[in-house]
Structure 1
Amino acid sequence: MTQLFTVHPQNPQVRLLKQAAQFIEQGGLVAVPTDSSYAVVAKLDDKTAADKLRRIRGLDERHHLTLLCRDLAEIGQFARVDNKQYRLLKLATPGPWTFILEATRDVPRRVSHPSRKTIGIRVPDHNVTLALLECVGSVLMSTTLIPDGEEEPLNDPELIHQRYAGQLDAVIDSGACPLKPTTVIDLSGEEPLIVRQGAGDASVLGLS
């Protein structure tokens, strides 16, 4: 059975988010709203949860999973960031951006890219997601909720609840959220590379 938690988008009920956090702590998958469509999140250090995340999306190990962080300081624990990268991250966070960075040893190998040792990382600008991260007390691994074989992310929490009944442990419903995916920028090379143009306007960061 997949639990549905209906929470206020601006002032989410902490008691409900703590219940959702318990599912995550127990190795479950939870669909959450973000500033760029719904995502599925799981506990970082749970191998079975990582496998389930990839399976629900139909992803192989070369596809970057993304770490959802609460702030810039938390990014620094899981990714190697130099001064130039930090200035870019400071401009962009929180917001609908995913940055590809070199992973630190705190990132499990099964989560990072197998050959490049990089990881997707971001700080979402969404009250519910940030409140959930506070309840969990750590970063969460995530992937955009795009059904296997489709191209568009899902945006209707009730539809997600119906479609993934039995596959997800819980869905957090705070209403619809934007349908655009994050803008993905690879910072692991010598110069920033825009991998995907999404909700974040790269010109704001001086990139094109």
Structure 2
Amino acid sequence: MLLELHPQNPNPRHLKTIIECLKDGGVIIYPTDTVYGMGCDIFQHKAVERICRIKQIDPKKAQFSFICYDLSHLSDYTKSVDTPIFRVLKKALPGPYTFILNASREVPKMLKTKRDTVGIRVPDNNICRTIVKELGNPVMSTSLPIDEYVEEYTDPEIIHDKFGKLVDIVVDGGPGGMHFSTVIDCTSGEPELIREGVGSYDAVL
């Protein structure tokens, strides 16, 4: 199913369909402030396993991130964050960044890495943040099952043609991007650049 959501004024009926799908263990493809991502409710284990099958990855080795509405989710899913790191997060988010932080006990076991960390995203995209807000908890996020994002994968209709049978809903939020978020590891207390993406590393330090 391809459902269009207006970025500023999402259709309440379509939004309700998406939330019910996630709560029932569905998998969706949705826009972020970078590329289109694939995800599910973080507490729906079967949906997480399904995404791993779609991407042909071992859940234990997968590196998923959490899409959060804002930084208020931090204390639920991460261990306490030092003030200097929190300042960096506040400066960068919402924006095209993924911050790797130490995971709290609230993070479902199968979504923790071996290092007991979690990636946190607050995209500057009203659609995915509204979905998270209405759902009431983060959405797990991963990239589409492709080797690289090229121009055709910025078009939600093409994404639906290619992957619509693998997922329950493709959310059409207009054209997506082709480049990933910048990944910054904050687990040691000092921000460390892991992957240079859309967000400027220097701008947030």
TM > 0.5 fold call? yes
Task: Output one character per residue of 1:159-184: Cα deviation in whole Å (capped at 9) or x when no partner.
Answer: 11111132100011021122211000
Distance 1:177 1:10 in 2: 16
Amino acid at match of 2:193: I
Distance 1:146 1:38 in 2: 11
Which residue pairs with 2:92 in the alignment? Answer: 92
Distance 2:46 2:158 in 1: 25
Amino acid at match of 2:16: K
Task: Output one character per residue of 1:16-72: Cα deviation in whole Å (capped at 9) or x when no partner.
Answer: 111111111110101100101101120111111111122222333223211111111
Distance 1:95 1:65 in 2: 17
Which residue pairs with 2:136 in the alignment? Answer: 137
Specify every segment of 5 or more residues in structure 1 that has no aligned partner in the other structure, as ranges. Answer: none
Higher helix proportion? 2
* 8 Å CA contact retained: 1:146, 1:152: no
Q: Which runs of 4+ in 1 moved over 3 A?
A: none
Amino acid at match of 1:83: T
Q: How big is the alpha-carbon RMSD for the aligned residues of Structure 1 and Structure 2?
A: 1.4
User: What is the aligned-residue identity percentage?
Assistant: 36
> How many residues are paired up?
201
- State the 1:199 CA deviation: 0.7
Which residue pairs with 1:124 in the alignment? Answer: 123
- State the 1:146 CA deviation: 4.3
Distance 1:21 1:190 in 2: 35
* Change beyond 3 A, Cα 1:95–1:146: farther
Distance 1:199 1:100 in 2: 16
Which residue pairs with 2:178 in the alignment? Answer: 179
* 8 Å CA contact retained: 2:54, 2:145: no
Which residue pairs with 1:20 in the alignment? Answer: 18
- Partner SS, residue 37 of structure 1: coil
Amino acid at match of 1:42: C
